[in-house]
Amino acid sequence: MEVGKRGIASAKVVVMITMVSLLVMISGVSSVRYIVGKDLGWSTNVNYTVWAQNKHFYVGDWLFFVYDRHTTSVLEVNQTAYDKCIDTNPIHNWTTGHGRDVAPLNESRQYYFISGNGFCFSGLKLSVFVANLPPPPTESPLNETSGSPPFFSGYRDRIVLPAAFVIAALWDSFLLFC
């Protein structure tokens, strides 16, 4: 009797983990963590206007600042403080003292970041516009030449493959415990 109950309990755990995994895989929205300045980090050797130029920042993304914790800092300021490199009274001081700090982009607006101690005057500042996520793509109408819709369109390519793996895992678990 004990063996049978344990097998059923294990199967329930496998099914529960699989369902949670499926829910995680189905979500079509994922935030992006940008390493500010890429390999050079948050330092005076980077033109952050050029770095941010071809990037699209959306609500939910993160800016990851890597810097020398003994000299530089990460301060979120308003536009006036950004333009004039004023490091007093920031909106938020993201500096934790570890040299690796993350600033969440939670609102659709312009964000301004500078480093204090005069480094802003050396170009250690960043301005990014954060937009709302674009609407999901709509399914394209039927292809008039073939008369049928493309196999993978819209969100189907994000659901079909993960769902196939989940179904295969469930089937394998079912066969294992039955």
Length of the chain: 178
Domain boundaries, the chain: 2-28+153-177, 33-131
* Domain 33-131 fold: Immunoglobulin-like (2.60.40)
pLDDT in tens, 53-89: 999 999 999 999 999 988 999 999 999 999 999 999 9
Following CA atoms 54, 120, 123, 47 in sequence, which dihedral angle do they give, to the nearest 10 degrees?
A: -30
Mean pLDDT of the chain: 79
Spatial CB neighbours of 40, under 8 Å, sequence gap ≥ 6: 46
Q: State how beta strands 33-35 and 62-66 pair.
A: parallel
What's residue 156's pLDDT?
52
pTM: 0.62
